[in-house]
Every structure is written in structure tokens, then in C-alpha cells.
Chain A
Amino acid sequence: MSTTDTGKTTEPDAAGELGAAGSQLSTAPVETAMPGSFGGSRTPGAIGWITWTGREIVGWARWFWRQLTSMRVALILLFLLSLGAIPGSLIPQSGTDAQKVADFKDRHSLLGPVYDKLGLFHVYSSVWFSAIYILLFVSLIGCIVPRTWQFVGQLRGRPPGAPKRLTRLPAYATWRTESAPEEVREAALKVLKQRRFRAHLDGDAVAAEKGYLRETGNLLFHIALVVMLVAFAWGQLFKSEGNKLIVEGGGFSNTLLQYDDFKSGNLFSNDDLTPFSFDLKNFTGTYERTGPNKGTPRTYQAEVTYSEGAYGKPRKKTIKVNEPLEIGDSKVYLVSHGYAPVVTVRDGKGEVVFHQPVPLLPLDANVTSQGAIKVMDGYRNAQGRSEQLGFSAFFVPTFAGAGKGTMFSQFPALDFPVLAVSGFHGSLGVDSGLPQNVYQLDTSKMKQFKDAKGAILKARLLPGETMKLPDGAGSITFDKDVKEWAGFQVTQQPGSDWALVGAFVAIFGLAGSLFIQRRRVWVRATPGTDGVTVVEMAGLGRSESAKLPEELGDLAALVHEQAPSAPEPGPDTPGSDQDTPDPHAVSAAEGAEKQ
């Protein structure tokens, strides 16, 4: 944009020679001068000091504001933003993987606390990262507002008049014609207007400009960025996100109490939850059977029936990994799955005290799973005393490891399910008031069942098999039924529509800003010395514009049709001064397309 900025010390020529004609071809902020003393001279006495200080403060404030909203500082802040985003991609983040953060802290006793202090485990919500983008957006708004006014001013005004010497412009054409100057100007005005230039007569020349959409696009783009940020912030404040594990046949209704865990933004209130409910009918997972990627999941889908509101009509829907269920503001995603073997526990008298599917947590890609079976109440031991039972459960859908101490799964589908259990009795510790992990046993107040020889009692059960507990304590059966469970995430992200709108406006604005050129064209027609009219046309655009000379050529051809060349009088071409270019110098020229 070399010749288009005003007031740039690096390019005195632009301002000096083209004057107003070259000004404001964009609305980029003008670089500001270095601060000096803003207070000026100081009259003696307290009043003098106060007014001087006032001027000084206002001056500095203004200077600071100008700096903040200058292109240079915007550039530096953008740079800082990209630098600042890097650590978060290399250091584990508590937001995405709290376990990794804990591991990291364990391994690095020195770095851990330092990182903690610097907020490096939650970079994107850290003070310094927020400071960068908040400053950037203050700068952005401080930049948009004046630019918008300036642009409105430009729209309401008229394209600036022709500079004195059109020959100095990046693209130039001239010829002599017998048409009168007024006729030429009229013709040029018509041509330019037809080509959708904003054109007007100004003295002996027509001044025209086109490509205002560039600035519009640029402003729209920057405004869209602000909209996106606000939408994002709004979403953060009002969002909610909860997880729920449901076994086939189970259901869920959207209230806080039903969630396994729940997170929400600072301004979220429980009334904001969309009322709906759904039941999980069936979960299906398929896996690659052959080849090097054997075992890789191919499809996951959950068939549900859901109803909106408290008494909505039940409807069917299949939720897949990429296809959440959308109800109002809420979306229900399928995020995980696993197995829930159905287990029956009987007491010494053979009475069923526990019969239900037990969801187990997968440990690896082949769904080797682990969990706990907790019999809270209803159980009496052989002596008739009330006790609690706990079993640690280990499950594989496709058994491997026969004859070995450990077993593992070699395929994620239910080909050869085996459930390994070992039991405890005593108190599960659930009454202590502390929240308990449902997948883990607290065995501190329990005794492990031992067999007759005093070894730990454990068994690998096939579906239908039963393990007897010693001394008539009852039994545990792995029923011939393994259900699947699905983990759902229910999110509410208000503001995401606005973010989406902002994003698309940003793209269109950007395209306008980058693909449209703003350019000016002047056509001057003056009577020459020999009574023939001299027509001069010149164009000015940004240096990157390759099309300018081409366009000027087209326009010149159109004007030329209406005002054709007069026969050449001789070597002394009127209208040529020492500036007339030497047409033989073939060389690189700014704005010229080279092929």
C-alpha cells in the first residue's frame, strides 16, 4: 500500500506529491508521533501546576490510547497471542486432562509449582493470556470505531480531485482528440458511472473511485471478530455440561440430580436446563475384524426414545458420534460406551439380594473393564447379621490370557466374555457421608472372603456360572446377559449461534477485504496549445493491485471510443513535459502484471 497512506515518514513522496488525491485510500490508522511534553508551558503557582498536570495527563492518556489502537501495537498483540497459545499445546492442561496434569506434577517436583504459579496448566484461562486478548480486543474496538466514522465520512464525501501531475501515478494514459474538453469529461463521467465508479466533475477533471466494499468487508470482518468473542464469552458464562452413564433399558431426565457429574458457567442457573427425558433402548458398536487395524471401532450408535418437556410425545432417534440429539438449546452427545454384565447375588438362604447390570469402566481399547459390585442392603450373612458385600470385578469381552495370572481382552466385541470377581464383606463405608466412587471399593472396613485353604477367593466366571461364597455366605452369579452402557454428555452452549453467524460474516468480510481493490481514476481533459484537447487518464490503487493498469486500459478504450485520437501533429506531442515516460524502458513496474 506504498503510495496510499498519508503522513508516513517513510514515504514522503506519497503525501507530498499526490496530496489529497492519495489520502484515505484505506482507513488504516495513521502512525502517531513520539510523545513529547504534552503540558506545554507552565504558568507559575498552584493553578498553573494543576492545569499543566491536567494537560499532561490527558496528553499521556491520549498518547497511550493512540498507541494501543495503532497498527503496530495490534501487530505486537497478535504476535503475543500466537506465542501465548503455544505453551498450552505442549503442557498438559487441567481443563482437558486433569490426570495428566497430576502426573506431570508428580514427575516434576521443581517445575510443577512454577508452572502452577504461572497458570501454565490452564493457559487459556490464565490471567496473562486473558490480558493479551482483552488488550487486543480493546485495541480492536478502539480501532474499529474511528475507522467506521472515517469510512462513513468517505462515503458521504466525494472522491478527491485530480492531482496536478497525473503522469506521476502508477498507471497513466494520454491521447489527443478533437472533441471539446467538456464533451470528453461528460463521456468519461458516463463511462465511469457505467462501470459503477463513484464519479464527479472536479474542475478540469473527472474524479472517480471504486471498491468501497473492500473497506466495508474489512470493517465487517473486524466487527465479526468482536461478535465472536462476545458470543464465546457469553457461552462460557452460561454454558452447562453434564455427563450421564446409562445402561441399556435405563433412562434419564434432564435435572441436576440425575447427572453423574456436572459443570456450568458462572452465571448459569438450574432453571436454565431444558426439560426433556430419554431412554436408552439399545447400543451397538461394531469393530474392524481383520487387518492391521483389527479392533478399531467402526460404528457406535445409541437408539433412544426421547420426549421434550415434561409430557412430550415420545420420539425415536439414533444418536451417533457425529450426530447428537438436539433438543432446544441442549445437545446430547454419545461420548463413551462399555459393558454392564448382569450379576445376581444371593444370600446364604438362596434369596436374591442383588440383581442388576453393573456398568464397568473400560481400561483399554479392547474394553478390558474394571469396576465394583456393591450390595448395600438386604444381605444377611450366615449368622443372620446384616452386612454389606463388595466385589471387585474385572471383565473382558473377548477373553485372552488362559492359564496365566492376568487376563486381558483381545477384541472389543462380546465374543468370549469372562467376569473375574473377588469378594469382601463388612462395611462399604458409604454411610460416612463422603462421596464415593461407584467404580471403586473402599475395603478399609471390609474383610476379604478366603477359601478353605486360606487363599483369596476369586473366580473367572463364564456367563451363567456362579461362585459360591465360603461358609454358606451365599453366592454371586454372572447371568447369561451382558448389557452395554453408553455415556452421554449433555451440553448447553448459548451464544454458539452468534459465534457461527460471526464466523461466516468474518469469512465474507475477509474475502471482500482481500479480493476487492479500492482504486481511484482521474480523467483530465484540457485544451492543448494547438486547439486540440489533451486527454489524460490515471489510476491509483494499492501496490498489490495487478489489475489497475488493465482496468485503466479498458476505461481508456471506452473513453477513446467517444473521443477518438486526433491525427499526430508531429514529434512535439502536447501535454508531454519532462515527466513523460520513455516507452522503451522495459522494466519492472509497481502494479504491472508480469508474465
Chain B
Amino acid sequence: MTLATATNEHLAHISNVLIYSSMAVYTLAFFAHIAEWLFGSRSKVARTAQALTAKGEQGAGAATAPAVTVQTAGGTAVLERPKVVTRSAAGARDVPDGPGAHGGDEQGDLYGRIAVSLTVVAWAVEAAGVLARALSVERAPWGNMYEFNITFSTVAVGVYLALLALKKNVRWMGLFLVTTVLLDLGLAVTVLYTASDQLVPALHSYWLYIHVSTAILCGAIFYVGAVSTLLYLFKDSYENKLAGGGKPGRFATSVLERLPASASLDKFSYRVNAAVFPLWTFTIIAGAIWAGDAWGRYWGWDPKETWAFITWVAYACYLHARATAGWKGRKAAYIALIAFACWLFNYYGVNIFVSGKHSYAGV
């Protein structure tokens, strides 16, 4: 009988300190984002209303003529490269993207940049914490809900920072993301904390690495998609109200004016969701292969499997809805949110409320 490898208590302790430190830095980032939003509220540009009402004034004929944009293409050395003019589909609303949380305010922008820098620092510290945890148990850091949570938020922030690094317009998401990361970590260190430990035999498999790592990555990206879908719904109602001649409240105006246009948010969430869907499909299949090795059946309608399937079908619904007349836009967005709710339920609900083969190691 061989004794299981003892866990390295020291490293586990370091990991805890790092996680707490990252929470402190995330909190600073949170306040910096708040400052960004507060300063941003000083600017009073109502571009959306302008864009929507200006069109109405042009009369019936012009109202249907979509706006166009000139792209200064490429920026390569090609001289006199022909300019590409783009125009939106007929019937689409043409609203400019908001300037971001800082609302064009210089001080707000400064605080926003500080917030992003702090987020980078917090993320690095958190990632180090996850790594230390992994080293302390000499395995991947996702054997229980505590580890899953800290890894999950690290990956979610990583996805956000990667999008920022790719120069995508996602800075507006900062406050929402940092807030939820703090909640997630708070939950992890209080309710879900489990001392570092080894795995039960059913988890000894390289499929664990494949299946769980992709599951976490998918969740993080789905989360980013869900945030933008939710904001799309708000922004869309706001634009609808303005287009219908209504007057939204001051707070709504101040917040939503700064976000990208609803069309941009919608497109962004579609791209994000569509991009992970194949990966999610793969995650489920990898899980099935692993289940085949571990439990002697590929698919057994275990609660966790069932909810992964439900989530998958819900996202398939969303993709279908976007290709079905009468289901685009808001309805599809609702389906996307339901799909994400399914994912969340699978992650928290099933572990806590439903017992099945997937319950291991103290939650």
C-alpha cells in the first residue's frame, strides 16, 4: 500500500495569501472603475438621441437611407488604396457606439486606465495563487468547487484582458466583470473553501485536464457573452424608447449612453457565443469519453451530464434563433441568457442541490 503524496501545506498557505491579496487589488480596481463611471457621468453627450431623432427629421425618404462609414483601410504602405464604404442593412438602427465608461471625460479615462492596470496586477496575483494551489496538490487546480471558482474567475479575467490586448472594444465591461469576480472570489474563500487535497480515483485521468479546462474556459467566455447580451437588452430598450419619442431616466441615460450601440453589443455577444459553441460541444464529448472510461458508459443522464446537454441545446437554440425570421434580436438574446443560466445552474445548482456521480470531495 503506497501512501498518497502528502500535500504541501506551505504552498497551499502561500496560495491562500495570494488569493486574498488579489481580492484586495481587485477591490482597488473596483473603486477605480467606480471613479471612472462617476467622472464619466459629467459628460452630457446624448449621441443616441441625436442619431435617432436627426434621422426622423430628414423625412420619410431619407429615413430609410442607412448611414455609411468610410474605412481607412489597412494602414499599409499601399498608396491611394481605394476606400471602402460600408453601410448597414436597411431597417437597422444606426446609432454610434458610446465612448466607454469614462464618457469622454479625461479624468474618467485616467481612472479607467488605472482600473485596467490594477486588474492586470490583480489577475497576475490571482493566477499565481491558482498556480501555487496547483503545485501544492501536484495536480490541476480544479478538484473541488473552491478550486473551480478561483480558476474560473482567473480565466474569465484572462479572457477579458486578452480581448483588450487584441484591441477589442471591451473596456466598458470592466466594472461588471470586476464586481462579479469579487463576488465569485468572496464566495470561494468563505463558503466553498476546501483545504488542498488529492483526488479520488475517478478523477485520475488526463481527460480531467482536457474536459475540465475546456469547461472552465467555455464558462468564462459564455460569461463574457452573457454580460454583453444583458447590456444589449438594456441598450436596445433604451434606443427603442428614444426612437419612439420617449424620454429615458437620467441614470439610464448616463449609463447607457456610454456603452456601445445595441447593434454592436448584439454582434459582439453573437461572436463570443458562436466562437465557444464548438468548444463547448467538444467539452461535452470529452466528458462522455471520460465517462466511458471511468464509469463504463458514455452517457448516463447523470444530472451534470443532463445539464451540460441542456446548456448545449439552449445555445443551439440561440444560434438557430439568429437564423430564424422573427426570432432575431431580443428574443434570441433572451434565449442566450437562458442558456447561460443553464450553464450557471450546472455549475452551482447541480453541485449543491442535486446529488449525482459528479459530486466529489466536499462539494
Known: A85-B309, A88-B301. A594 touches B169 (CB 8 A): yes
Q: A556 and B294: CB pair below 8 A?
A: no
Q: Is B71 close to A, CB under 8 A?
A: yes
Inter-chain CA distance A75–B194, complex, in Å, is 42
Q: A170 and B271: CB pair below 8 A?
A: no
Q: A170 and B86: CB pair below 8 A?
A: yes
Inter-chain CA distance A293–B7, complex, in Å, is 11
Inter-chain CA distance A492–B84, complex, in Å, is 61
What are 14 residue pairs bridging A and B, where the CB atoms are less than 8 Å apart in the complex? A74-B320, A168-B87, A290-B6, A291-B197, A296-B197, A321-B201, A321-B294, A323-B293, A491-B297, A503-B285, A557-B82, A588-B67, A590-B89, A595-B168
Q: With CB as the reference atom, state the residue of chain A lying closest to B166.
A: A595
Q: Is A72 close to B, CB under 8 A?
A: yes
Given contacts A507-B285, A583-B83, 18 further A-B contacts (CB under 8 A): A2-B92, A8-B325, A88-B301, A170-B88, A287-B4, A288-B198, A293-B362, A296-B361, A298-B4, A298-B199, A320-B201, A514-B275, A514-B319, A546-B267, A587-B68, A588-B94, A588-B263, A590-B88
Q: Which of B2, B70, B264, B303 has the most CB of A within 10 A?
A: B70
Q: Which of A335, A546, A585 has the most CB of B within 10 A?
A: A585
Chain B positions 209 through 231: 1 when the CB is less than 8 Å from some CB of chain A, otherwise 0: 00000000000000000000000
Q: With CB as the reference atom, state the residue of chain B lying closest to A1.
A: B323
Q: Is B159 close to A, CB under 8 A?
A: no
Q: With CB as the reference atom, state the residue of chain A lying closest to B298.
A: A496
Contact residues in A for B321 (Cβ distance below 8 Å): 75
Chain A positions 58 through 85: 1 when the CB is less than 8 Å from some CB of chain B, otherwise 0: 0000000000000110110011011001
Known: A286-B3, A491-B296, A594-B264. A549 touches B201 (CB 8 A): no
Q: B87 and A286: CB pair below 8 A?
A: no
Q: Is A395 close to B, CB under 8 A?
A: no
Q: With CB as the reference atom, state the residue of chain A lying closest to B71.
A: A549
Contact residues in A for B362 (Cβ distance below 8 Å): 292-293
6 nearest A-B pairs in the assembled complex, by CB-CB distance = A590-B88, A553-B73, A581-B68, A587-B67, A333-B296, A82-B313
Contact residues in A for B60 (Cβ distance below 8 Å): none
Q: Is B324 close to A, CB under 8 A?
A: yes
Partner of B300, one of A96, A174, A587: A96
Stretch at the interface among B113-121, B145-153, B181-189, B276-284: B276-284
Q: Is A489 close to B, CB under 8 A?
A: yes
Partner of A173, one of B6, B84, B94: B84
Inter-chain CA distance A354–B118, complex, in Å, is 75
Q: A322 and B294: CB pair below 8 A?
A: yes
Partner of A589, one of B6, B69, B293, B323: B69
Closest chain-A Cβ to B1's Cβ sits at a distance in Å of: 5
Q: A286 and B84: CB pair below 8 A?
A: no
Q: B350 and A82: CB pair below 8 A?
A: no
Contact residues in A for B202 (Cβ distance below 8 Å): 321-322
Please report B residues at the A interface, Cβ cutoff 8 Å. 1-4, 6-7, 51, 66-71, 73-74, 76, 78, 80-92, 94-97, 167-169, 194-195, 197-202, 204-205, 207, 260-261, 263-264, 267, 270-271, 274-275, 277-278, 281-282, 285, 288-290, 292-303, 306-307, 309-310, 313-314, 316-317, 319-328, 342, 350, 354, 361-362
Closest chain-B Cβ to A2's Cβ sits at a distance in Å of: 4
Q: A324 and B67: CB pair below 8 A?
A: no
Q: Is A146 close to B, CB under 8 A?
A: no
Q: With CB as the reference atom, state the residue of chain B lying closest to A7.
A: B325
Chain A positions 459 through 496: 1 when the CB is less than 8 Å from some CB of chain B, otherwise 0: 00000000000000000000000000000010101001
Contact residues in A for B285 (Cβ distance below 8 Å): 503-504, 507
Q: B281 and A507: CB pair below 8 A?
A: yes
Inter-chain CA distance A543–B328, complex, in Å, is 12
Inter-chain CA distance A85–B314, complex, in Å, is 11
Inter-chain CA distance A543–B91, complex, in Å, is 13
Known: A8-B325, A293-B362, A299-B2. A507 touches B95 (CB 8 A): no
Q: Is A297 close to B, CB under 8 A?
A: yes
Contact residues in B for A500 (Cβ distance below 8 Å): 289
Q: Which of B80, B260, B285 has the most CB of A within 10 A?
A: B285
Q: Is A260 close to B, CB under 8 A?
A: no
Inter-chain CA distance A549–B322, complex, in Å, is 22
Q: With CB as the reference atom, state the residue of chain B lying closest to A581.
A: B68
Contact residues in A for B69 (Cβ distance below 8 Å): 585-589, 592
Q: Is A455 close to B, CB under 8 A?
A: no
Known: A296-B198, A335-B296, A590-B87. A557 touches B74 (CB 8 A): yes
Inter-chain CA distance A78–B313, complex, in Å, is 7
Inter-chain CA distance A89–B292, complex, in Å, is 20
Q: B303 and A89: CB pair below 8 A?
A: yes
Q: B82 and A173: CB pair below 8 A?
A: yes
Contact residues in B for A544 (Cβ distance below 8 Å): 267, 270-271, 274
Known: A3-B89, A10-B325. A300 touches B201 (CB 8 A): yes
Q: A2 and B327: CB pair below 8 A?
A: no
Contact residues in A for B2 (Cβ distance below 8 Å): 286, 299
Contact residues in B for A293 (Cβ distance below 8 Å): 195, 197-198, 361-362
Q: A588 and B310: CB pair below 8 A?
A: no
Q: B201 and A171: CB pair below 8 A?
A: no
Q: A591 and B324: CB pair below 8 A?
A: no
Partner of B74, one of A289, A553, A586: A553
CB interface residues, A 244-285, toward B, < 8 Å:
284
Closest chain-B Cβ to A104's Cβ sits at a distance in Å of: 13
Q: B277 and A595: CB pair below 8 A?
A: no
Q: With CB as the reference atom, state the residue of chain B lying closest to A232.
A: B299
Q: B310 and A86: CB pair below 8 A?
A: yes
Q: B68 and A288: CB pair below 8 A?
A: no
Known: A537-B82, A553-B74. A71 touches B195 (CB 8 A): no
Inter-chain CA distance A11–B324, complex, in Å, is 12
Q: B298 and A595: CB pair below 8 A?
A: no
Q: B4 and A489: CB pair below 8 A?
A: no
Partner of B293, one of A324, A506, A587: A324
Contact residues in B for A31 (Cβ distance below 8 Å): 325
Q: With CB as the reference atom, state the residue of chain B lying closest to A559.
A: B82
Partner of B277, one of A321, A493, A514, A552: A514
Q: B293 and A322: CB pair below 8 A?
A: yes
Contact residues in B for A89 (Cβ distance below 8 Å): 301, 303, 306-307, 310, 350, 354
Known: A293-B361, A296-B198, A333-B296. A588 touches B97 (CB 8 A): yes
Partner of A587, one of B3, B94, B289, B327: B94
Closest chain-B Cβ to A325's Cβ sits at a distance in Å of: 11
Known: A71-B323, A507-B278. A557 touches B78 (CB 8 A): yes
Q: With CB as the reference atom, state the residue of chain A lying closest to B78.
A: A557
Closest chain-A Cβ to B321's Cβ sits at a distance in Å of: 6
Known: A331-B296, A589-B66. A583 touches B85 (CB 8 A): yes
Closest chain-B Cβ to A584's Cβ sits at a distance in Å of: 8
Inter-chain CA distance A74–B325, complex, in Å, is 13
Q: A170 and B82: CB pair below 8 A?
A: no
Known: A2-B89, A589-B86. A322 touches B205 (CB 8 A): yes
Contact residues in B for A581 (Cβ distance below 8 Å): 68, 70, 85, 87
Q: Is A113 close to B, CB under 8 A?
A: no
Contact residues in A for B1 (Cβ distance below 8 Å): 284, 286, 413
Contact residues in B for A595 (Cβ distance below 8 Å): 167-169
Q: With CB as the reference atom, state the residue of chain A lying closest to B195.
A: A292
Inter-chain CA distance A169–B86, complex, in Å, is 8
Contact residues in A for B199 (Cβ distance below 8 Å): 298
Inter-chain CA distance A363–B115, complex, in Å, is 55
Chain A positions 6 through 32: 1 when the CB is less than 8 Å from some CB of chain B, otherwise 0: 001111011001000000001010010
Known: A175-B82, A296-B197, A594-B260. A493 touches B298 (CB 8 A): yes
Contact residues in A for B86 (Cβ distance below 8 Å): 170-172, 548-549, 589-592
Contact residues in A for B325 (Cβ distance below 8 Å): 5, 8-10, 31, 71-72
